[in-house]
Amino acid sequence: MVESDPSLVRLFLPHLAPGWREHAGRAGAALEESLQRLMERTPAELNPDPAEFLAHVAGRLPEPNPGWDDGDLLRLLARLRVEDLALAWACARARSADAVAELERQHFHVVDAALAQIVGAAPRAEEIKQLLRQRLFVPAAEGDEPRIAQYSGRGDLRSWLRVAAIRCAINHLQKQGREVALGDEMLAQLAAPDPDQELDLFKRRYRAEFKQAFEGALRALSSRDRNLLRYHYLERLSIDQLGAIYGVHRTTVARWLARTRETLLSQTRRSLMAQLRIGRPEFESIMRLIESQLDASIARFLETIPPDPKTR
C-alpha cells in the first residue's frame, strides 16, 4: 500500500494534456486522494514505480472536451481499470517477461478463441499468435513503445486483445492473398470505437437535452415509420417478416429503416444544435456517440411512447 504523499500530484501533472492541467490544479486535495486510491489498486506483485506509472496513466487520458470540468477528471481516474492498465504498463515499460506471461495467462484464451474462429487449424493459429506477440510486446522501431502501451485502461483489456488478434489475423491472411470471412459479431467489434467513458459523461451532462430532442424527433415521425421501428426494435421482427406485413421486398424494408434512422439522427442533430452552446468538435463527438447508441435509444424511447394504431 502506498502511503499518502503530496508529491503524487506533482508526479502526475507534467504528463497531463494541457487541457486537463487547470482542472487538476483546482481539484487539489481531491486529486491527491484519487491518485492515492489509484496506486493502492495496482497489483502488489507488479510494484509499479509511482513516477513512471502515473506518467503512463496521464498519457492514456483523452483530451478533455470544452464542457468537461474538474470532477470529470476525477471520475475518469476512478473508472480506470487499474489492474489491467498496470499489467499492460508492466509489459510495455518494464519489459517484464513475468508480466507478459501473466497477461497471457489471464487473457489469451480470448485470443485463442478468436483465432480458432478465423483460421481454425492450430498450426496457423499459433503462427498468427506469434505475430501478435511481436506486435504487442516488441517496439516497431528504436525509441517506440510496444503496441500494448496503447491500451488506455478505459475499457476491458480482454476485449482490446481480442480485437487486436482479429486485426492481426486479417492483415496476415490478406498479405497471403486469402479472403477473410468474418461473422457479424467480429465485424461489430472491429467497427466499434475503443471503449471510452465519453458516453457516460455525455449522458450525465446532456441527458435532459438529448431526451427532449430525441423524443421530439420520434414523435415527429409518421405513424407508419414509428410502427415500423416498433415492429423491428421492440417486437424483434426481421426484415423478411416486415416485408410480409407490408407486402414489399426485404430491400424496400431495409431502405425504409435506414431512411427513418437517418431522419431521427438529422432531427435530433437540429434540435441539439439549437439547445447546446458548445464548440463544433464536441458537438460532432456527441453526435458520433448518439449514432453509435442509436438502436438502443430507439428501443428505449419507443417503450415510453404509446403505440400508434397498427396501420400500414
pLDDT value, residue 188: 43
Tally: H helices and E strands in the chain: 16, 0
- Give the tens place of pLDDT for each residue, 89-131: 999 875 678 899 999 999 999 898 888 877 776 677 888 899 9
Residues of the chain with pLDDT > 90: what percent?
21
DSSP-derived secondary structure letter, 1:
-
**Closest to 78 in 3D by CA, of 40, 43, 34:** 34
* Cell 405513424, located at residue: 223
Asked if residue 189 has pLDDT above 60, the reply is no
Local confidence band at 199 (pLDDT 50, 70, 90 cut-offs): low
Q: Which of 76-80, 119-123, 137-141, 210-214 has the lowest mean pLDDT?
A: 119-123
Residue 189 half-sphere exposure, CB side, CA atoms within 13 Å?
Answer: 17
Question: How far is the C-alpha of 213 from the C-alpha of 229, rounded, in Å?
Answer: 18
Question: How far is the C-alpha of 146 from the C-alpha of 139, rounded, in Å?
Answer: 4
Question: How far is the C-alpha of 117 from the C-alpha of 111, rounded, in Å?
Answer: 10
Q: Which of 7-21, 73-87, 160-174, 225-239 has the lowest mean pLDDT?
A: 160-174
pLDDT value, residue 39: 94
Question: How far is the C-alpha of 260 from the C-alpha of 253, rounded, in Å?
Answer: 10
pLDDT value, residue 94: 56
Asked if residue 166 has pLDDT above 50, the reply is yes
- Give the tens place of pLDDT for each residue, 234-272: 888 888 888 899 999 988 888 898 899 889 988 988 888
- Residues whose CB falls within 8 Å of the CB of residue 27, separated by 6 or more in sequence, listed in order: 34, 70, 73, 74
Average pLDDT over residues 183-187: 45
Residues of the chain with pLDDT > 70: what percent?
80
Global model pTM greater than 0.85: no
Question: How far is the C-alpha of 8 from the C-alpha of 31, rounded, in Å?
Answer: 9
Sign, Cα dihedral of 231, 237, 238, 244? negative
207-210: Cβ within 8 A, 24+ apart: 209/272, 209/275, 209/276, 210/268, 210/272, 210/290
- Residues whose CB falls within 8 Å of the CB of residue 24, separated by 6 or more in sequence, listed in order: 9, 12, 13, 16, 31, 70, 73
Asked if residue 302 has pLDDT above 80, the reply is yes
What SS3 state is found at 46? coil
Question: How far is the C-alpha of 261 from the C-alpha of 6, rounded, in Å?
Answer: 51
pLDDT value, residue 148: 93
DSSP-derived secondary structure letter, 177:
T
Average pLDDT over residues 36-63: 90
How confident is the prediction for the chain on average, in pLDDT? 80
